Chain A
Amino acid sequence: MNEPDEKFERETRKLFDRSVESLDASTLSRLNRSRQLALAEAHQAHTGLLRWAPATGIAAAVLIAVIVTRGPTNVDGFDLPVAMTDMEILLGEESIAMLEDLEFYSWLDTVESEDGDVS
């Protein structure tokens, strides 16, 4: 932009700034009310969501507690050994393939113990 354009721009901006500074009190008050209205809506929206946060948290915690303490302890009607929880199975070093035949090993264990009783 050339110098006359920049000068014109400065002058118009100065003039506009004066008109902004000279807004009357009634208008400023209405602007303030509009701003507070907008902010109140934002506050209401946030507090509305936050109001449910503790209840949601407690419900989630109770659900977790129920799952942990009363979770399923048998699979397909087969009783797992007491100490063997799901996490232990997943974290254990044993081959996961063995778990697919767990029912067979349980049967083998039963047969062996029955054989032991007989003998």
Chain B
Amino acid sequence: MTAGVAIYAVSCEAESKGARTLQKERQLNQFLAEVERRALRIAEIGVRDRDEALDLVQDAMIKLVRNYADRGTDEWAPLFYRILQNGIRDWHRRQFVRNRVMVWFRRPATDDNDYDVVAAAPDLAGRSPEQELQNAEAMQGLEAAVQDLPTRQREAFMLRTFEGLDVAGTAVAMGCSQGSVKTHYFRAIHALRERLQEHWAGGKAQ
């Protein structure tokens, strides 16, 4: 009798856990589908290479699912971007070390190694070629300006403006205080405006 009750209780618990797991997987799928494109572009601006950015986004997805799937859904975005930003920072550290080592063995740079602007350029989406060109040029200018920002300013700007995280979420993603986020963001906006306003004076993105 007791054994039967115990088996029933365990099987009910397993069934209920299975249903919860399935629901959690659906929520994870939905969350990742919502953030993956923006995350890719943010990573791409961070490392200037789409393939590397794809790898970083995939790593961030796997780490989020592996370590934080049980957290509340509202915590996923800051945690995901924290993982991604850490990945980008690690990537830069590795590149720095690699470049210091490889500088002695490097051949002269060829065009094959350059970032392929044409391959990374966005596809047409119903806009005229002139508008596309104007947008592409504006975006390239913005990307270059963002890439030249100090790391923390760049992170604050991309998380707040591109991803739309609030100050609290950005602070979690960056691993710093909300006051620091506000300072970095303020400085980033002003540095970008100063650099880009002359380029953007002639026309806006369409």
Residues of A within 8 A of B (CB): 1, 4-5, 8-9, 11-16, 18-24, 27-28, 30-31, 34-35, 37-39, 41-43, 45-46, 50, 53-54, 56-58, 60-62, 64-65, 68
- 1/0 per residue, CB under 8 A from A, across B95-136: the answer is 000000000000000000000000000111100000000010
**Is there an interface contact between A42 and B25, defined as CB atoms closer than 8 Å?**
yes
Known contacts A15-B135, A56-B10: A22-B54 contact under CB 8 Å: no
**Closest A-B pairs by Cβ, 4 of them:** A57-B10, A22-B122, A34-B58, A61-B6
In the assembled complex, the Cα of A30 lies from the Cα of B43 at a distance in Å of: 15
Residues of A within 8 A of B161 (CB): 9, 12-13, 16
Whether B69 is near chain A, meaning CB under 8 Å from some CB there, is yes
Residues of B within 8 A of A61 (CB): 2-4, 6-7, 10
Residues of B within 8 A of A42 (CB): 25, 28, 65-66, 69
Residues of B within 8 A of A39 (CB): 25, 28-29, 32, 65
Residues of A within 8 A of B50 (CB): 27
Residues of B within 8 A of A22 (CB): 122-125
**Is there an interface contact between B2 and A65, defined as CB atoms closer than 8 Å?**
yes
Whether B192 is near chain A, meaning CB under 8 Å from some CB there, is yes
Chain B interface mostly helix, strand, loop or mixed?
helix
Whether B193 is near chain A, meaning CB under 8 Å from some CB there, is yes
Tell me the minimal C-beta distance from A48 to chain B in angstroms: 11
Residues of B within 8 A of A37 (CB): 58, 61-62
Known contacts A31-B37, A34-B61, A54-B10: A13-B54 contact under CB 8 Å: no
What is the chain B residue whose CB lies nearest that of A67?
Answer: B2
What is the chain B residue whose CB lies nearest that of A49?
Answer: B17
Query: Given contacts A23-B122, A31-B40, A35-B61, could you give 7 more A-B pairs where the C-beta distance is less than 8 Å?
Result: A11-B204, A16-B41, A38-B32, A50-B14, A54-B10, A60-B10, A68-B2
**Is there an interface contact between A5 and B29, defined as CB atoms closer than 8 Å?**
no
Whether B77 is near chain A, meaning CB under 8 Å from some CB there, is no
Known contacts A45-B66, A53-B10: A19-B41 contact under CB 8 Å: yes
**Is there an interface contact between B54 and A65, defined as CB atoms closer than 8 Å?**
no
Whether B142 is near chain A, meaning CB under 8 Å from some CB there, is yes
Whether B57 is near chain A, meaning CB under 8 Å from some CB there, is yes
**Is there an interface contact between A35 and B11, defined as CB atoms closer than 8 Å?**
no
Residues of B within 8 A of A56 (CB): 10
**Is there an interface contact between B10 and A24, defined as CB atoms closer than 8 Å?**
no
In the assembled complex, the Cα of A48 lies from the Cα of B191 at a distance in Å of: 51
